[in-house]
Amino acid sequence: MYVMKENIINRAINVLDANFQKGGFTIPSKGLYPFQWKWDSGFIAVGLAHYNIDHAKKEIETLLNAQWDNGFIPHIVFHTDDDSYFPGHDFHRSDLHPLSSKKYKSTGMTQPPVTAFVLQDMLNIVDDKEDMLNFIKGQIDKVYDNHVYFYENRDPQNEGLVYIYHNWESGTDNSPVWDDIWDTMNPPEYTFERKDTTHVDASQRPSKREYDHYLYIIDIAKQNNYDDAKIAELSPFLVQDPLFNAMLIKSNKALMELYELFGGNEDKIAYLRKNQERSIAAFNQKLWDNELGAYVHYDMRNDKPIRHVSSSSFSPLFAGIPSKERAEVLVNTMMDRFGGDDKYLCASFDPTDNRFNPRKYWRGPVWINMNWMLYRGLKEYGYKEIAARVQNDSIELVERDGFFEYFDCRKDTGEEIRKGYGGDNFSWTAALIIDLLKG
């Protein structure tokens, strides 16, 4: 066991080192994703903190350097002019927003706010606490400003829940949850050259028609210079996502705890506390589906819940959102639908739903970042055995199938040689496996 563990950790370190760039950030996967992504950076920094603290700090610093003047942090920072990814900076045109960074080209959309809880994790991981505290002191206000941005600009009805306006903001790009929204839209047929399918088999990626929807939503945002109020008024995609809001809540808590360590900052702590209470209450009230026994997404544009269970439904465990009683219902739902003996935990989408696809990206495969959050959440609520299963399943999949982006949740795929899916040598898979093995 010990040798095996060391061996995976060394392989994971090799993946991360090879993906680290001169500019001080880590690409998610060579060829497929050649820039810096927001939530990837956070997960990657957790892994880096175990063996290369300088790189871990750089990762966070580089991302936060690209913050806009209104506190917004973009989902992709285009550090280089690499044209092997579509859509690139020339399509996104972050310069349209008056407060966007003048120094860095980026997208005009964001991704789940993981940075604050990542900073807290980094502090917990390293031995030299003083050094890390000094680093965090220099970065924390930027992360706080990002949270203020969300509450002031992404919550038009002042509910305590923030919206996302694009499926790429969710991080769970082609989840079947969005199919309900695509049904309400009829975007034009765009002409463009896909780059992703030159790296990954098309059967594991979103369809061309799905990309038409993705591009169309960006076009609407661009026509309005990425103005948040206009987007809230006009975007056909406007969703309160349980995963995104759970990350915000988890990160609010980390920010408050870190500020408390430093002393002072009473105003900031009070602002976070007020919003935290509202957010948790609204989350439990609006996003809980009693019949399904799970948290679900809410479609603000069409004013209705999107009633499907996905791995996002379980992320509130990581943020301490459900009561003990509700957590039990949620875990039972997960075990009933996702937890059969013939499956690895945890599929990204409900295997009992007819939209489930075990090979296609966010429509069913297991993702290590979701498992990492699930493992921590289950442990926190006292589900030690199920947590251990999530941990072991993750390690087994990576050990056998490789450091891939996502994995088949079926123990028997019908194929002789199993392999992971999507990008190979994928950074957050490597980073979080290190953390899962150490923790």
Binding residues for ligand 9WN, per CB under 6 A?
A: 28, 33, 37, 39-40, 75, 168, 171, 173, 196
- Shortest separation between residue 47's beta carbon and ligand 9WN, angstroms: 14
Minimum CB separation of residue 28 from ligand 9WN in Å reads: 3
**CB-nearest residue to ligand 9WN:** 28
Question: To the nearest whole angstrom, how small is the minimum distance from the Cβ of residue 30 to ligand 9WN?
Answer: 12
Q: Contacts by 328-334 with C-beta closer than 8 Å and gap 24+?
A: 329/293, 330/293, 330/294, 330/295, 331/378, 331/381, 331/383, 331/386, 332/293, 333/292, 333/293, 333/294, 333/309, 334/294
Q: Closer to ligand 9WN at the Cβ: 167 or 276?
A: 167
Pick between residue 57 and residue 360 the one whose CB is nearest to ligand 9WN: 360
**How far separated are the first and last CA of the chain, in Å rounded?**
15
Q: Give least dist CB 425 to ligand 9WN, A.
A: 12
Candidates 252, 239, 387, 241; CA nearest to 319 is 252
Phi–psi pair at 52, nearest 5 degrees: -145, 85
Please state, in angstroms and rounded to a whole number, the distance separating the CA atoms of residues 189 and 175.
21
Identify the three-state secondary structure at position 347: strand
Instruction: Please name every residue paired with 297 in a beta bridge, in sequence order, or none if there are none.
Output: 306
Complete edge-to-edge strand list for the sheet that includes strand 76-78: 36-37, 76-78, 105-106
Nearer to ligand 9WN, 159 or 424 (CB): 424
d(CA 264, CA 268): 9
- Output 92 or 253, the one with its CB closest to ligand 9WN: 92
* CB atoms near residue 414 (< 10 Å): 6
What's the token pair of residue 20?
A: 């680290």
Q: What is the DSSP secondary structure assignment for residue 283, as one 8-state letter?
A: H
Q: Which is nearer to ligand 9WN, 28 or 351 (CB)?
A: 28
Q: 68 vs 406, which CB is nearer to ligand 9WN?
A: 406
Smallest distance from ligand 9WN to CB 151, Å? 23
Catalytic site includes residue 173 = yes
CB 235 within 8 A of CB 181: no
> Which is the catalytic residue, given 95, 173, 212, 257?
173
Q: Indicate the residue among 67 and 172 with the shorter CB distance to ligand 9WN.
A: 172
- What is the nearest approach in angstroms of ligand 9WN to the Cβ of residue 426? 7
The distance of closest approach from Cβ of residue 249 to ligand 9WN in the complex, given in angstroms and rounded to an integer, is: 19
Of the candidates 287, 201, 208, the residue with the CA atom closest to the CA atom of residue 244? 287
Residues with Cβ < 8 Å from 256, sequence gap 6 or more? Answer: 269, 272, 273, 276
Our answer to whether residue 408 is catalytic in this structure is: no
Determine which one of 228, 241, 401, 405 is catalytic.
Answer: 405
Least separation, in Å, of the C-beta of 204 and ligand 9WN?
A: 11
320-343 exposure pattern, b = at least 16 Cβ within 10 A, e = fewer: ebbeeebbebbbebbeebbbeeeb
Nearer to ligand 9WN, 173 or 328 (CB): 173
Residue at token pair 């349209």: 96
Give 92's Cβ-side CA count (13 Å radius).
Answer: 21
Say how far apart CA 427 and CA 13 lie, in whole Å.
Answer: 9
Annotated catalytic residues are 173, 405
